[in-house]
Structure 1
Amino acid sequence: MADITLAAYSYGSVLFDPEVPCITTQWHSFANRQQFQSMMNEALVCYEEESKRTSPLGWLADTRQMSALTSDDQHWLNTDWNPRAYAAGVRHICIVQSENVFGQIAASSYSAKTLASQEYEIQPVTQPTIVEAKHWIQKNLQFHPVLP
């Protein structure tokens, strides 16, 4: 079964894969601050709604086409979005490695700051392909179900 598109923009999409199951943020190109934060917030709402029907539910960040993130966006993720994601039940975020160095730096910085946080416990994990990421989520959900 193919991913179900929940939202689509020129810079990214929010998807649901019922077979894994997981919500995916898939980046297609650069997103400015408003676009980035809006899509991340929309994806979190989708996660909250879907987790009422599907539990456990994973989170996949497809950053293959993602470029740089500003330090302000990094700060927003770690101090605003991550605490809300944790409150919604997100415990693991599987990141598909970016194809460009700027996206790789952004994902690495996000992972380091997320792991260092004392406010929440979200484990970011990077996988080289979308297939491997979905497999990791599926396996991880079997052994570490998300608890509210």
Structure 2
Amino acid sequence: MAQTVAADTDLYTIEWDGDIDTVTFTWDEFASGERFKDGANALLEYVQSNDVAKVIHDTSGIQAHDDEDLAWLQSEWYPKMVDAGLRYSAIVHQESVISQMDTEDFVEDVKDMPYKLMHTADLEEAREWMAGN
């Protein structure tokens, strides 16, 4: 795995994986409100600056996001990511029924956006899916 760390904070890590031309964004701890938006916008800036089409969002280390933050992702942030060039997105959630259900609800809410989205509890499965796209 040829990963280059682009940003590493207490809140998140951004890594470029040249083997599969994908950015992996890992939430390292729970965040909400402005702190959540700051982390998400750091990824947006990376995507905009580096012509990125594929992103893995690794949320497996946290239980869930706040409903208000998810609504912001859906209505404001994801459209900006698509405008920046996002074409493939994978969400890696915790291995729990609650996390899976929350992720499935979110995926349903953004299914009409012009990019392909998958979700899994397995980071390696997300990497394999990205490698095939």
TM-score, normalised with respect to structure 1: 0.79
The amino acid across from 1:124 in the alignment is L
1:87 and 2:83 aligned: yes
Farther off after superposition, 57-66 or 94-103: 94-103
Counterparts in 2 of 1:1-148, with a 5 A limit?
Answer: 1-51=1-51, 57-115=53-111, 117=112, 120-140=113-133
- Offset of residue 26 of structure 1: 0.5
Q: Which structure 2 residue ranges, 5 or more long, are not aligned?
A: none
Query: Stretches of 4+ moved more than 4 A in 1?
Result: none
Farther off after superposition, 12-21 or 74-83: 12-21
Q: 1: CA distance between counterparts of 2:2 and 2:46?
A: 17
Farther off after superposition, 58-67 or 91-100: 91-100
The amino acid across from 1:106 in the alignment is D
Contact 2:92 2:122 survives alignment (8 Å): yes
Q: Which structure 1 residue ranges, 5 or more long, are not aligned?
A: 141-148
- Offset of residue 100 of structure 1: 4.1
> Secondary structure of the equivalent of 2:95?
coil
Q: 1: CA distance between counterparts of 2:101 and 2:82?
A: 23
Query: What root-mean-square deviation, in Å, do the aligned CA atoms of Structure 1 and Structure 2 show?
Result: 1.9
Contact 1:62 1:95 survives alignment (8 Å): yes
How many residue pairs get matched? Answer: 133
